[in-house]
Amino acid sequence: MAETTASRVTGPLPAPPARSSGALPTGRARRRYRTVVAVLGVLAAGFGFGLLAWDNPMPVGSDGFWRIAQMRGTNLVVMAVVAICQAVATVGFQTVTGNRVITPSIMGFEALYVAVQTTAVYFLGVAGVVAVQGLPQFALQLVLMVGFAMLLYGWLLSGRYANLQVMLLIGIVIGGGLASVSTFMQRLLTPSEFDVLAARLFGNVSNADASYLPLAVPLCLGAAVLLWAGSRRLDVVALGRDASTGLGLDHRRETMRVLFLVSVLMAVSTALVGPMTFLGFLVATLAYQFTGAHAHRYVFPVAVLTCFVVLSGAYFVMRNVFYANGVVSIIIELVGGLVFLFVILRKGRL
């Protein structure tokens, strides 16, 4: 391969030759990208520090300050994990499906999560919520979700009639069937059991247990790094099946690989904090606008940063301005949902 010979278009954006095919061909585009990353970085750092330090009763720097900050730090790590998972998974998923108005969370991950939680409470009562907490249970949920996704992909994406959209719809419909079973069980719960369950059915960073992180962090980082490393292949996948096959890419294998990584990321995020249907959609849509480039190696970091800023910003504002911690994810869902409505009504083509 000739790739080692001359100027690589990686790393800290080298000055390209006069005629460049880079994702950011002009100086203006590069400056814009750098500005976006810088602003998002500053915002992320600001909200992150704010969440750690704001309203901390201890003086900054004291032992007590650090102890409280450490507790809040766990939440911050969870947010970072969720941000990476949702952002990277959504961008990758939208590329392999060739559709920018869908989100991977509709693929039955959430329905499965809700079913597991509901079943536990249904059979074990209030104790059920506790019963599904713990590292082994967390791992089991991950295996269930990824296993479900792989069954679906293996069944519907191989063979002669492989069709991605049929696969998507079947995933959604199976999720719908699962959801009606959950709804039925929820009806039979006592109000107090239901209240306990309801808290778990909304995405919330405080659902996460610090003991999950040793498993969640490596999985999330591993899958995200693998996807990021395949950025250039994803750029080609985005051209569609025929064009990418013509360019020598094994389109089906690449699709399966991406979908597998996406399912790992979505499973980690969902099992960690609960359903977040439109967060990924929201940040991916914003990231395409912010980046102004097609190349995935530029889109991924912006999407992750945006996701973290949205999450931490929402928590910071809700906690310190409105004193309403529990509804953060619902607010994000609402905003994401409205953006979704706006995008589909404005868009001319799917």
- Give residues 193-252 in contact with other proteins (rule: CB under 8 A): 194, 198, 202, 231-233, 235-236, 238-243, 245-250
# of chain residues touching other proteins (CB under 8 A):
83
12 in contact with other proteins (CB under 8 A): no
Rounded to the nearest whole angstrom, what is the least distance from the CB of residue 35 to other proteins in the complex? 20
Query: Which residue, 8 or 59, is less far from other proteins as judged by CB?
Result: 8
> CA-to-CA distance for 277 and 160, rounded, in angstroms?
32
Position 141, amino acid: Q
Q: Which residues within the stretch 296-325 sit at the binding site for other proteins (CB under 8 A)?
A: none
Could you say whether residue 37 binds other proteins (CB under 8 A)? no
Binding of residue 5 to other proteins (CB under 8 A): yes
Shortest distance in whole angstroms from residue 235 CB to other proteins:
6
Pick the binder of other proteins from 83, 189, 205, 314 (CB under 8 A): 189
- How far is 326 from 343, CA to CA, in rounded Å? 27
- Alpha-carbon distance values, 200 to 11, 266, 272, 327 (Å): 42, 17, 11, 12
**94 contacts: CB under 8 Å, gap ≥ 6:** 100, 102, 284
Contact between 331 and 314 (Cβ < 8 Å) = yes
Phi-psi sector, 173: left (phi>0), alpha (psi -120 to 50), beta: alpha
Of 68, 69, 172, 215, the residue at the interface with other proteins (CB under 8 A) is: 172
Q: Does 57 bind other proteins (CB under 8 A)?
A: no
Minimum distance of other proteins from residue 216's CB (angstroms): 25
Which residue, 124 or 170, has its beta carbon nearer to other proteins? 170
Instruction: Considering the complex, state which of residue 152 and residue 220 has its C-beta at the smaller distance from other proteins.
Output: 152
* Closest to other proteins by CB, 51 or 189: 189
Cα(77)–Cα(220) distance, integer angstroms: 12
Per-residue burial over 180-200, b = 16 or more CB atoms within 10 Å of its CB, e = otherwise: eebeebbeebeeebbebbeeb
Does 62 bind other proteins (CB under 8 A)? Our answer is no
CB 92 within 8 A of CB 227: yes
Q: Does residue 262 contact residue 109 with C-beta atoms inside 8 Å?
A: no
CA distance 265 to 255: 15
67-126: which residues touch other proteins (CB under 8 A)?
94, 98-103, 106
Tell me: does residue 165 bind other proteins (CB under 8 A): yes
Within 271-300, which residues bind other proteins (CB under 8 A)? 277-278, 294
32 interacts with other proteins by CB under 8 A: no
Query: Residue 22 interacts with other proteins (CB under 8 A)?
Result: yes
* Residue 51 or 106 having the CB closest to other proteins: 106
Q: What does the alpha-carbon distance between residue 288 and residue 296 come to, in Å, rounded to a whole number? A: 10
Among 163, 211, 289, 325, binds other proteins (CB under 8 A): 163
Minimum CB distance to other proteins smaller for 103 or for 141: 103
d(CA 270, CA 199): 14
Taking the complex as a whole, the smallest distance from the CB of residue 8 to other proteins amounts, in Å, to: 6
Report in angstroms how near the CB of residue 222 gets to other proteins at its nearest.
22
Short-list 340, 346, 349, 348, CA closest to 101: 340
